[in-house]
A and B are shown apart, each in its own frame.
Chain A
């Protein structure tokens, strides 16, 4: 049974059209014009239990709107949602007991009281039995190293400490689905790594389904087996991350560090017949661009290695950032492929 089931989901906002200038403002006063803006436009997907799914897209692509509909905050304009076997916006109070929510930009905790007191309050609100609460709290506190900050008021915590507490707060009632909206925004690399590892562990141990939105693709690479990419309210890619890389990765780049100076023409001659591009880095270094699925890296290497004095070789794969940037720019995963193909 799937944890999240979304079918032809749409959310349309009515946005007032502001006319220009003072005259326009005056006209707006009497007769308003509205634009219908579809923040989420006919999306469908399913997420099975225990999956970690990344939800990515540019600012304003509709990520947050989707999360808000999935968590019952917003009522959809049309389409069906089923999360945990329930319709989120109906019977909210019952529904939200089974989910955890972290909004990176907003705090769930009480500003002025100690962290542990916020947790106690949440325990009451979520009706978590004392024993369960204790067990869960001990585990999370130990895992996220919160014991030192438990008694500090939230307003005196650093962002990293606060985020760890937010995460703890969202898991106290052992939700079966966790929604994270930009959970690593503004955090340093140490905290990011900690949070990723923690999420992974929770997912493995409790089979918690996790849906997270992020702009940091390393989050996705570290956590998600699946990515849903959104653009202007439409899903433009839904599938594995590896698949995305395989299909739309452009190729590899090999960096050579030579012991002698070789002119570019020599290198070109050595790789004659192969569709590769050479670039000079400096006197002793050059890099070669090898397009995916056309030329084998080993072919290139075998032609170079025997005929030059090499001190170092590095191989770079196109990183996910670049692929995603390319897709964002073109607006669809299909088109991106064409762009890449024509580039080569």
Chain B
């Protein structure tokens, strides 16, 4: 209740700020979408040369990609902490966060909220629908509910992994290298994992489970039996990784050193 109420207020603040910088808002939405669409374009180019990739058709690939965009958009909206190290650790703004009576991570989420990226989710949903339309797969009454559950699980995985990485800022002075690396790895998750070699597949499934943000949950709806079992694990993996993220974060906060005077 308390958090819902402050969420509303922070959201209003966000809108007010955004309205002051109108052009900036539009540019952000457009560049976000363009970025996603170039990736999509890459898939289309590949399929100009072949009809199937490791047993996956173009529409299946599109479906997975569309699915991926949904949790990704939600994640970027709420758990986007890219500038955490620079803004909160180096500049010491974490001081302010820690002297306010709401959980520090929640405050960070609220301060860095970026609802513009939800347009990405919407686009993803449309791509998914388009692909579904072209695919010959069954549609069950429970599919929309399962979709919600899967998306939630995927968002939790994303969130957990990134909270974990972000909290490294508390332990090391400048963990600059690791974020771009993880960022690259997460890109693999949006393509079917069985086209990669075993090491990458294992990594994407158990170590940095980005496969659960794309191919595994999506394959549930595609009736692909190779990874359907994994699909149902999505929420579980989500909860596990999110919990790990939060635990490490809380340990990290107690090691916060502050900056300057």
**A: which residues have CB within 8 A of B?**
13, 59, 64-65, 68, 71-75, 89, 92-94, 96-97, 99, 101, 103, 105-108, 110, 112-113, 117, 120-121, 124-127, 181-182
Q: Which one of A99, A107, A112, A117 lies within 8 Å of B99 (CB-CB)?
A: A99
For residue A13, which residues in chain B have a CB less than 8 angstroms away from its CB?
Answer: 257
The 10 nearest A-B residue pairs measured at CB:
A97-B101, A112-B17, A101-B99, A73-B98, A93-B101, A64-B261, A124-B9, A75-B254, A96-B101, A124-B6
**B: which residues have CB within 8 A of A?**
2, 5-6, 9-10, 13, 16-17, 20, 92-96, 98-104, 254-258, 260-261
In angstroms, Cα B15 to Cα A117, docked, is 13
Closest residue of chain A to B20, judged by CB?
A: A112
Q: Determine whether the beta carbon of B254 is less than 8 Å from that of A125.
A: no
Q: Determine whether the beta carbon of B9 is less than 8 Å from that of A106.
A: no
Known: A73-B256, A121-B9, A126-B101. A113 touches B96 (CB 8 A): no
- Taking A73-B94, A93-B102, A106-B96 as known contacts, 20 extra A-B pairs with beta carbons closer than 8 A to each other, sorted by chain A number, are A13-B257, A59-B261, A68-B95, A73-B95, A73-B98, A73-B258, A74-B257, A92-B101, A93-B103, A94-B101, A96-B101, A99-B99, A107-B96, A112-B17, A113-B13, A113-B16, A121-B6, A121-B10, A125-B100, A127-B101
A-B contact pairs, 30 of them (CB 8 A): A64-B258, A65-B258, A72-B98, A73-B94, A73-B95, A73-B258, A74-B256, A92-B101, A93-B103, A94-B101, A96-B98, A96-B100, A97-B101, A103-B95, A103-B96, A106-B93, A108-B96, A110-B13, A112-B16, A112-B17, A113-B13, A120-B9, A121-B6, A121-B13, A124-B5, A125-B100, A126-B100, A127-B2, A181-B261, A182-B261
User: How far does the Cβ of A212 sit from chain B's closest Cβ, in whole Å?
Assistant: 14
In angstroms, Cα B99 to Cα A124, docked, is 15
Q: Determine whether the beta carbon of B9 is less than 8 Å from that of A105.
A: no
Known: A13-B257, A89-B254, A105-B261. A73 touches B6 (CB 8 A): no
